[in-house]
Structure 1
Amino acid sequence: MDKSPNSLLAQTKRRLRRFDLKARKGLGQHFLVDREVLGAIVAAAELSPSDVVVEIGPGLGILTGELAQKAGRVIAVELDDKLAALLKQTLASLDNVTIINDDVLKIAPQDLLEKQAGLGYKVVANLPYYITSPVLRHFLEASAKPRTMIVMVQKEVAEAIAAKPGDMSLLSISVQYYAEPKIISLVPAQCFYPAPKVDSAIVKIDVYPKPKVDVDEKGFFAVVRAGFAAPRKQLANSLAQGLGKDKAEVLPLLKEAGIAPQRRAETLTIEEWAGLWRVFEGGKDADR
């Protein structure tokens, strides 16, 4: 990584000193200081002058400036009051950038956009571990979904998001129900200042026009959550525990869905979960 006086690391340190700021551990702040990684994020977003970008956690605004050169409009949402003030000052000359000092989870995406993204919008975010899942759900479950999300997350979380059957988790299902995720590149810890304890990865999430399977969303995820209630257990046991049923009630439903009871939740495809939900819904109808 470049450590010259003109490097991104040096630029970051100067900006922090100028505004008397330090990275806040409580907010999981680690500033990206590698230009190649910065370029990879911008390239992955495939921006055009017609694009509206929502950037979450713009930090010192270095990526924000790059996004503003490619996109028609950038809406940068920063929780940290001091960083938001810095951004409003340092990016004041960019008339296509709007800085919002707020918690992105408290703003509905459709309100954030102010009806200016008729063809959809894109999300770019460097997400701390503690907020990754809530932010993904916030946008993927919204009525105004993005077309694409480019997110920097912990490597372990990236692998969970893009997992294949055999390594699936509730997070995997929650993302892949709505979208197709792909790990673009791994990002070593030393690409950040201060360096975190773990490596990260850039994930591109292309959102489907409609969910991958045709189900009742609430009911589908109730079954999925039940299946992962005890992920180390066989599916028959974890479903019984998660749904508050006897194992004897669950076994014939698994058989009807064509799923072996000894399998574990991590091995099921989204289509198999959908089939299982349909069988459980049919069982409810039979009980009425």
Structure 2
Amino acid sequence: MTSPTPAALLGPADIRELAAALGVRPTKQRGQNFVIDANTVRRIVRTAGVRPDDVVVEVGPGLGSLTLALLEAADRVTAVEIDDVLAAALPATVAARMPGRADRFALVHSDAMHVTELPGPAPTALVANLPYNVAVPVLLHMLENFPGIERTLVMVQSEVADRLAAAPGSKVYGVPSVKANWYAEVKRAGAIGRNVFWPAPNVDSGLVSLVRRAEPVKTSASRREVFAVVDAAFAQRRKTLRAALAGWAGSAAAAEAALVAAGVSPQARGESLTVEEFARIAENAGNTRNAGNAGNTENTENTENAENAENEEPGQQ
């Protein structure tokens, strides 16, 4: 496998020239902050551990900075792009810059949150500079719908990277932390400076590595049921779990019964629990409701959207 060449990858002048030719002006609404540094995309591919047999899915490829570096390293790359102009232009950029690999590239023109199938072989890796305003929902959606993704490396806002990788007991441990850990072992994998983007964002960026769990969380409860407990616990994170889960369980007494049955102190708070403990609480929900308190087990998965709402500076290749 050869290293990406300067002629193949996009530099600052290339990015601006492409954008001008397409009439593209980066917008905050679509999360368009384009990476203009070839060394940064090389670093992302290297940190992701992309292998020659990998089928990589990329979300938000933009003008193709990371796409080209991924094509050089992986067997196949499928890019998911929502923007009409960028989606139409990317195949031509790939064909012009890396003609020998163009047949290994596929473009899906869609909102990533609506994608449940991809063309070609199932993806084995997700590598992306995610639009920061929707980073967590997109990440969780991809992990849920594509179980063959073994390894993930995403660039997100630095604060979101901290939340995703946070351990129980941390002040920033919350909904993204628990839900990401449902699927994978999560850790910070580096920082990215602002000057590698055009336009430069007003926030710092971080890399997050996720390696899918070798064994799923052992529980008889469904993902939906477990996530409902997580959402309820962090909706009122300053309250004890007995109080925070009262609405979910039907009453404070029912919440306490579920917590005790799960071996969790009713006086604990959500930020101290592991994903396995949340799963045990969900398992015991049926028993407490059979005792006479009906509760709502619907999964309100837009909690991560609320936690992400403050992230106004999006990012994209």
Question: What TM-score do you get using the length of structure 1 for normalisation?
Answer: 0.88
Q: 2:267 aligns with which of 262, 270, 273?
A: 262
Write the mapping of 1:40-79 to structure 2, written as runs, cut at 5 A: 40-79=43-82
Stretches of structure 1 lacking an aligned partner (at least 5 in a row): 1-5
Q: Shift of the alpha carbon at 1:198?
A: 0.6
Query: C-alpha deviations, 1:133-156, integer Å up to 9, x for none?
Result: 221221222264411111111111
Check if 1:220 corresponds to 2:226: yes
Matched residues, number: 277
Check if 1:29 corresponds to 2:37: no
Question: What TM-score do you get using the length of structure 2 for normalisation?
Answer: 0.80
Provide the rounded CA distance (Å) in 1 between the counterparts of 2:154 and 2:87.
Answer: 20
Report what 2:314 is aligned to.
Answer: none
Q: Contact (CA 8 Å) 2:249, 2:285: kept in 1 or not?
A: no
Give the 3-state SS of the residue equivalent to 1:123 in structure 2: strand
Check if 1:122 corresponds to 2:125: yes
Provide the rounded CA distance (Å) in 2 between the counterparts of 1:100 and 1:279.
Answer: 41
Stretches of structure 2 lacking an aligned partner (at least 5 in a row): 1-8, 294-317
Provide the rounded CA distance (Å) in 1 between the counterparts of 2:82 and 2:90.
Answer: 12
Check if 1:163 corresponds to 2:169: no
Cα 1:249–1:19 change in 2 (3 A) is: closer
Report what 1:147 is aligned to.
Answer: 150
Q: Contact (CA 8 Å) 2:149, 2:212: kept in 1 or not?
A: yes
Give the 3-state SS of the residue equivalent to 1:215 in structure 2: coil
Report what 1:3 is aligned to.
Answer: none
Provide the rounded CA distance (Å) in 1 between the counterparts of 2:241 and 2:161.
Answer: 25
Shift >6 Å, 4+ stretches: none
Q: Contact (CA 8 Å) 2:56, 2:78: kept in 1 or not?
A: yes
Q: 1:241 aligns with which of 240, 244, 247?
A: 247
Provide the rounded CA distance (Å) in 2 between the counterparts of 1:113 and 1:244.
Answer: 44
Q: Contact (CA 8 Å) 2:10, 2:65: kept in 1 or not?
A: no
Provide the rounded CA distance (Å) in 1 between the counterparts of 2:10 and 2:76.
Answer: 27
Report what 2:114 is aligned to.
Answer: 106
Cα 1:39–1:236 change in 2 (3 A) is: same
Percent identical:
38
Q: Which moved more, 1:178-187 or 1:221-230?
A: 221-230
Q: Shift of the alpha carbon at 1:249?
A: 3.1
Query: C-alpha deviations, 1:168-215, integer Å up to 9, x for none?
Result: 211111110111111111112222110111111111111124423323
Question: What amino acid is the match of 1:73?
Answer: R
Question: What amino acid is the match of 2:203?
Answer: V
Q: Shift of the alpha carbon at 1:241?
A: 3.3
Which of the pair has the greater relative contact order for Cα pairs under 8 Å at 6+ separation?
2
Provide the rounded CA distance (Å) in 2 between the counterparts of 1:52 and 1:139.
Answer: 14
